[in-house]
Structure 1
Amino acid sequence: MSLEHARRTTGRTRVASALIALVLSGVGVLALAGPAAAAPGDCPSGYTCSYSGYKYTNDAWQQPSTHKFANCVDVMAIGWRSYGNVISSTFNNGRSQNSYLYRGPSQAGAYLFVPRGGGFGNVGSFNDDIESGYFETTRSSVGSALCR
């Protein structure tokens, strides 16, 4: 093998190696990119929806299992059914506002900030410890008919 042939072969090998590395690094980036957040199918536009199970599901043994609000709610309940302290995941499918979920009724205690178009498949330390919720413009409506 001549010296010139060895140089050409080595140059081609380097180019091929660089191309392979470039392709593989692109595949790695694509593989790491997660899907965009999508609202759970049962969460209508304009609502914040909260679920008794993780990852926007419902625990079969807990009733009620899903709570939805469009403005605000001082006490998470519909009729005699309480939704307080059963929430494990939540999604804000609001049209233009962030939402706030509070540990206690009527904005009592700490809150969990839920950005518009976002959610938490696991609400972490707020698990089974949320009792009221509000969109930004209704946070001053505590105790009003709007939040009942």
Structure 2
Amino acid sequence: MIVYRLSRGPYRNDLSGRGAEIAGGRWNSKGTAILYTSESIALCTVEIAVHMPLGIIPKDYYLVRIEIPDTASIKELSEADLPPDWKSFPHANSTQEIGDAFVQEAGQLVLKVPSATVQGNFNFLVNPRHADFHQVKVVETILFEFDKRLFVKE
């Protein structure tokens, strides 16, 4: 399975989940490493856009194609499995608790979750603590140029 992420240049080959560990996110609290990826390039783009202040066009981003083995163990959560506040902004602690528990248990390599930004799309969270994590590979990195219309108010 191929998944995608957009990363700043210096971190384009870093699959450690360290950035999420430092900052925390919707699916992890600070101190828990997890690798955020998306099912499509378009979803990655939206995920970055919603976190950028209006008027600032992201620079020095790379599109990273990541291969997860087809044999990878995947835990899938549907919207029905999630608490009512799962896509709130700012994100809720309830989703962080779900992601933190997933990482700690290390039962599956991947957690497939619905996107809070694009209905009907999915993000794939990869657990760096899982025994099979070494099988996750960067396939390609390419400099990515964002469309200015996503960030500039006309």
TM-score in terms of structure 2 length: 0.27
The higher relative CO (CA closer than 8 Å, separation ≥ 6) is in 2
Q: Identify the structure with the greater helix proportion.
A: 1
Looking at CA atoms only, which structure, 1 or 2, has the larger radius of gyration? Answer: 1
